[in-house]
Structure 1
Amino acid sequence: MSSDADVDPSEYEGLEDADVTMRVNDHGLHIADDEATGVSSQGQTPTEALENLAEAVETYREATSDDPGDDWL
């Protein structure tokens, strides 16, 4: 992870082995980027950005899984 923040992405479920880049945009929001999936999220703090990224990555993985989810048909 490259970051100015003292937060560790491996502490968040789903980001244990992730290559996460942290940055701050022009408006002061912290942006967390997962390099493997291309998913990004933001927050007022680095911690909030990582929490949001963990949730976004989980949603991304669920949406792109091979399971079509139509077993009920």
Structure 2
Amino acid sequence: MSEGDVEPVDFEDIDTDPTEYDALADAAVVMRVNEHGLYIVDDEETAVSSQGQTPEQALANLAEAVDSYREASVDETGDDWL
């Protein structure tokens, strides 16, 4: 890999499944690894991304970020200002 390249990661090639995380159960998750070995994951449904040193860490971080995104997207006040 050259500088700035990323390589897609197939979930069948690693021992981690995004559906193990409740927040990602119905998500369309894609993972890639950059030239420094950092795993980057995206939830294509919410456009939320995260990263980690391992696939497991990246997915755990993404699940937490997606949870936060969904919590922030809920308007519990009843105001329709968005």
TM range (shorter): 0.7 to 0.9
Size of the aligned set, in residue pairs, is 69
Uncovered stretches (5+) of structure 1, i.e. residues with no partner = none
Asked if 1:68 corresponds to 2:67, the answer is no
Cα deviation digits, residues 20-69 of structure 1 (max 9, x gap): 00000222100110000000000000000000000000000011112239
Uncovered stretches (5+) of structure 2, i.e. residues with no partner = 1-8
Q: Greater strand percent: which structure?
A: 2
TM-score of the aligned structures, taking structure 2 as reference length? 0.74
**Structure 1 residue ranges, 4+ long, deviating more than 4 angstroms after superposition:** none
Which residue is 1:57 aligned to? 66
TM-score of the aligned structures, taking structure 1 as reference length? 0.83
Tell me how large the CA RMSD over aligned residues is: 1.9
Asked if 1:48 corresponds to 2:61, the answer is no
What is the percent sequence identity of the aligned residues?
65
